[in-house]
Amino acid sequence: MNRIELTRIPFIKNALKSRYPQLAVFIVMLIGYIFAILAGLIGTPVGSHNFSIVFVWIAWWAILILVAVPFFGRGWCAVCPIPLPGEWLQRGAALSPPDKRPKWLNLRVPKMFRNIWLQNISFLLLALFSSVLLTTPNITGIVLAAMLFAAIGLSTVFERRAFCRYLCPVGGFIGLYSQTAPIELRIKDKQVCVTCEGKPCYNGSSAGYGCPWDVFPGGLTKNTYCGLCMECIRTCPHDNIAVNLRPFSADLAKPSTRMDEAFKAFIMLGSAIIYAGVLLGPWGAFKDAAYNVSSNSWFIYAIVFLAIIFVILPGLFMLGILNKKNTLPLKQRFASLSTALIPLGLMFWVAFSLSFVLTNASYILAALSDPLGLGWNLFGTAHAAWQPMFTSILAPAQTLALVGGLIWSARTAQKAAGEVKVSPIPVIIYCFIATSLMLWLLL
Amino acid sequence: MNPRFSLLLLVMAGLAVAFAPLPVPAIAPQERTFEIDAHQFAYSPSELKVNTGDTVTIQLVNTDVVHGLYVDDYDISVEADPGQSATLTFVADKPGSFRFRCNITCGAMHPFMIGKLIVGRNDWLYRSIGLASLTVIGFFPLSSFILKKEERNVA
Ligand code: SF4
Ligand code: SF4
Ligand code: SF4
Ligand SMILES: [Cu+2]
């Protein structure tokens, strides 16, 4: 159905199949990442003048949420430096498979952890401390380093990329929202896979590694767990892997039935609403509560935060779709219909981030010239003044994102409702109320 | 109703909701003065409401470290040293809702030291909610049209 195979273009195909272009990007990213850790640890404690804060939470975040995720899905994961040191160690090589693989434990991740609940928890942990994390270079440096070391540790104990697949706090929502992207990696012909001997795309071969994300490419139906690492393009002996351009949110036509994924949608939707109110709202008491970790008011903030995400938002949703006459289990309807919250949540994040990013983007110039806040002036831009950008189009752009998100989620709700044979109206009304709340908070 | 016609109707209704001029209540401009207390990391009061055309004077009273106040879109600002105060006077001639925020790095939560100035009615909010409602109302006739089209394409 109306897909354009990008890998038909020889230039794209070769660029993806060769390990060198990716390696070049990897190295730049890894250097940037390590520099961000060091800047966080030894640079100025003033967040808005420290490379770690400015480049991670303003520049990277803007690119991730406004461009990479909506248009390239897991495209960020294709170049992300976090799992690299661990993966190289695990493989005993940075490029093609070596003759002799190092002997690590290579355990399989226990079944009870093979879902995204750990990612839901790791995201929430960061989310509850986000006011400190976003503004304190030290803490950002420590968290970035902890992710790097956790990925290394897991690579030596478990097979493949256990960190990415089950623990990374960022990977969870990138995976969720990557389903909306107009890019996918899929097999071309199912029949070729059926008769393919040895399934090198999953098991590895001398041409490359078995899928690091523990997915069998032949069975891919959604983007969520494919990290776009391009190994299967390298290993498939039958040239059966394609990267396609496709309609937006094609994966959402077949709604998920998993509770971990359903709650991920609520976690992300709720966090966007809470941040819009706490961080961008005019209420100083909320900011105090969110920032003063371990104070009494912070505990109340944390409890309210978790209650909104796990009780209020899903509870109201559940009430809306209660219907005694329906024969399908409520759990299945709940999981399927929550698919509608995926485009809505993504657009909430876009609207929230637009405001934060446009207001603070001018810090990037200054931080580029003086990344550690030590008074350097590498490019002559160290004294670039803080100046919000495009403030006059901010509100219309946010309305466009939020109302567009509402239309998108209404369409998604309609498809999901068709799958479980219920009316989409309660879900659409739920999305409308959430959108109105977000409009009120941001405008 | 012809689906193309209802789509056209919906788009026109959307444009009207977004852009149609609204009657502006004629209120004689006044002089208004606010004393705003700035401290890490909030303003109090943090929400100001004025009428379009008012001459607004903000007296920024600073109670701890150095802070400023920058009004989005109006692109004007004022700064005050610790323990000092400073004044900013301007004519609120652009209606709408505007964030004002600290423009001098004053500590960790500085980027989120934010207040809100509402000049006249916050029309854009109501227009946006109107657009969202229109979306929901118009969704059903329209989506059945799209569904039928998709079915035709499949057939
Ligand atoms: S899942 Fe996380 S660590 Fe892994 S590639 Fe994606 S962002 Fe990087
Ligand atoms: S290696 Fe290629 S043909 Fe074989 S199973 Fe994997 S994708 Fe299919
Ligand atoms: S090997 Fe293929 S299916 Fe597996 S993560 Fe990489 S690109 Fe995706
Ligand atoms: Cu301040």
For residue B149, the model assigns a pLDDT of 60
ipTM over 0.85: yes
Q: B83 and B52, same structural domain?
A: yes
Rounded CA separation B130/B133 (Å): 5
**Confidence (pTM):** 0.95
For residue A322, the model assigns a pLDDT of 86
> What's the rounded mean pLDDT across residues A332-339?
93
In order of A415, B13, B20, B134, the CA distances from B4 in angstroms are: 22, 14, 23, 17
* Structural domain includes residue A317: yes
Helices A313-321 and A330-337, packing angle to 10 deg: 120
Q: What is the mean pLDDT of chain A?
A: 94
Calculate what percentage of chain A has a pLDDT beyond 90.
Answer: 84
Instruction: Give the A-side interface with B, CB within 8 Å.
Output: 46-49, 131-132, 135-136, 279-285, 287-288, 291, 356, 359-360, 386, 388, 391-392, 394-396, 399, 402-403, 406-407, 410-411, 414, 428-429, 432, 435-436, 439-440, 443
For residue B155, the model assigns a pLDDT of 46
Residue with tokens 């004629």: B26
| 3-class secondary structure per residue, chain B | CCHHHHHHHHHHHHHHHHHCCCCCCCCCCCEEEEEEEEECCEEECCEEEECCCCEEEEEEEECCCCEEEEECCCCEEEEECCCCEEEEEEECCCCEEEEEECCCCCCCCHHHCEEEEEECCCHHHHHHHHHHHHHHHHHHHHHHHHHHHHHHHHC
* Structural domain includes residue A332: yes
Spell out which residues of chain A touch residue B123, defining contact as CB-CB under 8 Å: none
| Contact check, Cβ <8 Å, A291/B73 | no
Q: B116 and B88, same structural domain?
A: yes
In tens, the pLDDT along B38-56 reads 998 999 999 999 999 999 9
Structural domain of residue B136, as residue ranges?
Answer: 3-22+127-154
Structural domain of residue A327, as residue ranges?
Answer: 256-442
pLDDT reading at B1 higher than 90: no
pLDDT reading at A424 higher than 60: yes
pLDDT reading at A29 higher than 80: yes
Please tell me whether residue A187 adopts helix, strand or coil conformation: strand
In tens, the pLDDT along A356-378 reads 899 998 899 889 889 998 889 89
Distance between alpha carbon B77 and the CA centroid of its chain, in Å? 18
Q: Which ligand is nearest to the CA of B36?
A: 4
User: Are A51 and A367 spatial neighbours (Cβ–Cβ below 8 Å)?
Assistant: yes
* Structural domain includes residue A379: yes
Best CA proximity match to A251, nearest among A412, A76, A430, A74: A412
Longest dimension (CA), chain B: 75
Q: B49 and B71, same structural domain?
A: yes
pLDDT reading at A168 higher than 80: yes
Rounded CA separation A267/A78 (Å): 24
| Contact check, Cβ <8 Å, A407/B97 | no
Q: Residue B33: pLDDT band by 50, 70, 90 thresholds? A: very high
For residue A1, the model assigns a pLDDT of 59
pLDDT reading at B98 higher than 60: yes
Q: How many A from CA of B73 to the centre of ligand 4?
A: 19
Rounded CA separation A56/A134 (Å): 9
Ligand 3: nearest atom to the Cα of A228? 7
Rounded CA separation B92/B7 (Å): 39
Please tell me whether residue A249 adopts helix, strand or coil conformation: coil
Q: B84 and B134, same structural domain?
A: no
Q: How many domains does chain A have?
A: 1
Q: B51 and B96, same structural domain?
A: yes
Spell out which residues of chain B touch residue A287, defining contact as CB-CB under 8 Å: 41-42, 109, 112-113
In tens, the pLDDT along A236-260 reads 999 999 999 999 999 999 898 899 9
* Structural domain includes residue A176: no
What is the DSSP pairing of strand B85-91 with strand B55-62? antiparallel
Cis amide linkage into residue B41, ω under 30° from 0: yes
Lowest mean pLDDT among A159-173, A271-285, A296-310, A326-340: A326-340
Q: What is the mean pLDDT of chain B?
A: 87
* Structural domain includes residue A247: no
Q: By 3-state DSSP, what share of chain A in percent is helix, strand and coil, each rounded to 5? A: 65, 5, 30
| Contact check, Cβ <8 Å, B128/A388 | no
Q: B60 and B40, same structural domain?
A: yes
For residue B138, the model assigns a pLDDT of 82
Q: Residue B153: pLDDT band by 50, 70, 90 thresholds? A: low
Q: How many domains does chain B have?
A: 2
Q: Whose CA is nearest to atom 2 of ligand 3?
A: A232
Q: B95 and B137, same structural domain?
A: no
Spell out which residues of chain A touch residue B105, defining contact as CB-CB under 8 Å: 46, 48-49
Report the CATH number that the domain containing residue B112 is assigned in CATH.
2.60.40.420
Rounded CA separation A218/B126 (Å): 49
pLDDT reading at A332 higher than 70: yes
Q: What are phi and psi of A5, to 5 degrees?
A: -80, 110
Q: B90 and B36, same structural domain?
A: yes
Q: B138 and B81, same structural domain?
A: no
Q: B137 and B102, same structural domain?
A: no
- Which of A6, A22, A72, A185 is the best mutation target for the ligand 3 pocket, counting ligand atoms within 8 Å of the beta carbon and taking the most? A185
Contacts of A17 (CB under 8 A, 6+ apart): A230, A233, A234
Q: B41 and B68, same structural domain?
A: yes
In order of A25, A205, A359, A373, the CA distances from A172 in angstroms are: 23, 29, 27, 33
Q: B142 and B90, same structural domain?
A: no
Of residues A244 and A392, more confidently modeled: A244
Residues pairing with A335 in the sheet: none
